[in-house]
Amino acid sequence: MLMIGDSLMKGYWRNAPATNEIFVEQSDGRWMRTGDIAYVNNKGYFFIVDRMKELIKVKGNQVAPAELEALLLEHPAVQDACVVGVVIKGEEVPRAYVVPQQGKGSGELEGGIQKWFRERTSRFKWLVGGIGFVEAIPKNPVCLWPFLLLAVPANETKSGKILRKIMREKAKAEVGDKDPVQAKL
């Protein structure tokens, strides 16, 4: 028999300070802070959309990539989007990767998307790291418990979490500082 202390939550087993830090008591029950940013739709389904640790820190401001991605997805020429932080000249800035709608060329799109984006966001959220155009955003397949998969409509399970690590590495190779320590000197 698998015990919780054996593997699932080993770092919290008999560690009261760590346990008290992640579990919180509220009027509606006991909750575990996982570091995920989620929402519940009108049918009661939970959707994890981002991670707190994936926030981009721009000149002391925290920028949620999911917020910028949602805005990019409102642009008529954008089919899919991913935003990651990239270090340029020693400072972290947002960089977007966009899958253009079919029939849209990437060459003329960047300036239009940048202008459109700047009209709708604060200066620290601007895509200073630029926009890269890709054929697809890498994502994990959706992983739901089997009994939940039957209850969730098929159109809400077609894409999983963005593989940001891959996109951050791509951004660093394309425009980021090669050695952050040297870049600050």
Can you list the domains of the chain with their CATH numbers? 55-184 (3.30.300.30)
- Position 126 scores a pLDDT of 96
What pLDDT is attached to residue 106? 67
**Helical segments of the chain, H only:** 16-22, 65-73, 106-118, 146-151, 164-174, 180-184
Burial 12-23 (b: 16+ CB within 10 A, else e): beeeeeeeeeee
**3-state SS class at 46:** strand
Note the pLDDT of residue 115: 94
**Which parts of the chain register pLDDT below 70?**
1-11, 37, 49-53, 105-107, 141-160, 179-185
